[in-house]
A and B are shown apart, each in its own frame.
Chain A
């Protein structure tokens, strides 16, 4: 009998801390599958953020560093400059990457830092209990926007891929989604391209993965996927924004 499905070697054999129905687990798996397929695990260093994926250092079976909130691209820069032969990736949420760590993100991209960033955008701060994120949708209700995000006082959601695509140092960035099997397959291809961009020393690569947060959105997993499709996809169009050829 042949094995048709198994845990990727780059994923540690542990139970994750993610809520039921959350798509972090899928995204972890995609990253791990890519590390396996490109045979990178043994020379890879991952940088875990602060947020729901703070414990990612337990889940990826490669060398890991846990960074301060938003600082993962700076830590990754230090690791990569120290040992340029290593493959270095960060795994960050929207609060980490697009609020407190915006400076680190933009400048790592501007320098063309040869690292890969996996950016999980679920439009909310998950771990701290569902506060407004920089990517929270207009009118979206969160713990800190109880009347819905009012763009007059809380401003507009940030489109990271579009912003980083304007920088010459960004070699590759693409926005993908986890809302369907087809899109998950595209997401994996994008993650693979991002790591290949790094191994080919082309510069900064980022994949923005639209993700769900059933717990803090107050929806069941299936309705969460519907909500992502109805609300996030129109504002955050999928596609390649830079490179990838």
Chain B
């Protein structure tokens, strides 16, 4: 299989084009600029649209327009920029539109730093827009997965008419690795007969999130949450690494999971039976996979490049059956395998 050496940001961009995305709307922000720059080069070659918007808010609303017109559309940004897109994320959900959003996370709060971070977990999984809704959140951990998650993201978006966020970080965005761009076989997807394309030959289509009657809005939200139940059932993804006989289980996603793998191996060399569970979907969260391990292990160690955000979901999943410890670096700092190893040893 042919492989190309690509930066994470560029790998996502090329995978999006291969997935049939022809409409990209972005705004400059570090550390995701290579993604938009790649799109600006490639989109004209495939007769697609690259548009540098006047703001993050305009960019996400252009995505809304192209998605409403039935096209695969995407925007990318980094933490403060994604915060600005919150309004659009809520409207995408309220209108049941499929779209893909990339967040190459940097440290915060405020202008923070351009260094990598995982401090947008809450914004991605719990918030990022008003009202009752979720986004599917995919958390790749290497550049090959940046590609694979991009294919998955567009398919999930179209299948369920939801927004899918790819939650990466500055490490994954900037790092280069060999990747295969081979696309998995395309499964059939539902027709976009709801799209606004001009009403010739049919009744008019309306894309809307306004329901003045509370009775109707309540029903709409209940229907949407039934869809979320389907997604939880069908799309929850996690990688289990050396968990079969584990006495201590590390929980980490993205770049932090990659470093944690080294720490797990180092612990094993020292005779500690460590394992790793790596959520690939942060929403839906792999609650069952984690809960099932709670009876087997002595403790969990959550490794995060934040002050500890995912740890709340791990605690909920473990249901206080076992101690859950935090190994954290924040503000753009990255944990070393030694720090994680120390944390594993302390948890025993």
Which chain A residues in 207-230 approach chain B with CB under 8 Å?
none
**A64 B25 Cβ-Cβ under 8 A:** no
Given A81-B49, A81-B66, A82-B71, A104:B87 Cβ within 8 A: no
A68 touches B208 (CB 8 A): no
Choice from A41, A63, A71, A82 contacting B66 with Cβ under 8 Å: A82
Q: Which residues of chain B are within 8 angstroms of A82 by Cβ–Cβ distance?
A: 23, 49, 65-66, 69-71, 73
User: Which of A54-62, A132-140, A175-183, A185-193 lies on the face that meets chain B?
Assistant: A54-62
In the complex, what distance in Å separates the CA atom of A190 from the CA atom of B189?
Answer: 44
Is there contact, CB below 8 Å, between B196 and A65?
A: yes
B199 A74 Cβ-Cβ under 8 A: no
The verdict on B307 contacting chain A, using a C-beta distance below 8 Å, is: no
CB of A61 to closest CB in B, whole Å:
6
Nearest-neighbor residue (CB-CB) of A104 within chain B? B58
Contact across chains for A71 and B207 when beta carbons are under 8 A apart: no
Docked Cα-Cα span, A43 to B208, in Å, equals 19
Contacting pair A45 B198 (CB below 8 A): yes
Q: How far is the CA of A68 from the CA of B131 in the complex (A)?
A: 14
Known A-B contacts A64-B206, A103-B55; the reply to A78 vs B25 at CB < 8 A is yes
Q: Does B176 contact A (CB under 8 A)?
A: no
* Chain B 61-72 interface 0/1 with A at a Cβ cutoff of 8 Å (1 = within): 111111111110
Interface residue B51 (Cβ < 8 Å from any Cβ of A): yes
Q: Is B88 positioned at the interface, with any CB of A under 8 Å from its CB?
A: yes
Interface residue ranges of A97-111 to B (CB < 8 Å): 103-104, 106-107
Select one of A47, A55, A74, A78 contacting B23, CB under 8 A.
A78
CB-CB under 8 A from B87, the residues of chain A are 68, 71
Count of B residues near A, CB < 8 Å? 39
> Is B61 in contact with A67, judged by CB distance below 8 angstroms?
yes
Could you mark each residue 33-47 of chain A with 1 if its beta carbon is under 8 Å from any beta carbon of chain B, else 0?
A: 000000001111101
Number of inter-chain CB pairs below 8 Å: 132
When the two chains form their complex, are residues A66 and B51 in contact, meaning their CB atoms are under 8 A apart? no
- Per the bound structure, the CA–CA distance linking A44 and B65 in Å amounts to 14
Q: Is the CB of B73 within 8 A of A78?
A: yes
Contact present for B206 and A57 (CB under 8 Å): yes
Indicate whether A75 reaches chain B with its CB closer than 8 angstroms. Answer: yes
Residues of B within 8 A of A43 (CB): 198, 200
* Contact of A63 with B64 at beta-carbon distance under 8 Å, contacts A78-B69, A82-B71 already known: no
Question: How many A residues have CB within 8 A of the partner chain?
Answer: 35
Most interface-central of B51, B61, B207 (chain A CB within 10 A): B61
Q: Which of B16-68 contact A (CB under 8 A)?
A: 23, 25, 49, 51, 53-55, 57-59, 61-68
A55 to B67, CA, bound (A): 21
Most chain A beta-carbon contacts within 10 A, residue among B63, B70, B198: B198
Question: DSSP class of A's interface residues: helix, strand, loop or mixed?
Answer: helix
Tell me which residues across on chain B come within 8 A of A123, comparing CB atoms.
none
User: A134: shortest Cβ distance to chain B, in Å?
Assistant: 18
Specify the chain B residue showing the minimal Cβ separation from A87: B198
Is A64's CB under 8 angstroms from B67's CB? no
Which of chain A's residues has its CB closest to B51's CB? Answer: A81
B3 at the interface (CB under 8 A from A): no
Q: Does A77 contact B (CB under 8 A)?
A: yes
Does B197 reach chain A (CB closer than 8 Å)?
yes
Cβ contacts under 8 Å, B91 to chain A = 67-68
Interface string of A104-129 (1 = CB under 8 A from B): 10110000000000000000000000
Question: Closest Cβ of chain A: how far from B17's Cβ, in Å?
Answer: 16
Residue from B54, B62, B206 within 8 A of A78 (CB atoms) = B62
Q: Closest residue to A67 on the B side, CB-wise?
A: B61
Taking a contact as CB atoms under 8 Å apart, the answer to whether B196 and A74 are in contact is: no
Question: Are A75 and B204 interface neighbours, CB within 8 A?
Answer: no
Contact A75 B65 (CB under 8 A): yes
- Please, could you name 20 A-B residue pairs with CB atoms under 8 Å apart, sorted by A? A41-B199, A45-B69, A61-B204, A63-B199, A64-B207, A65-B64, A65-B196, A65-B208, A68-B91, A71-B61, A75-B61, A78-B62, A78-B63, A78-B69, A82-B23, A82-B49, A82-B73, A103-B58, A104-B57, A107-B58
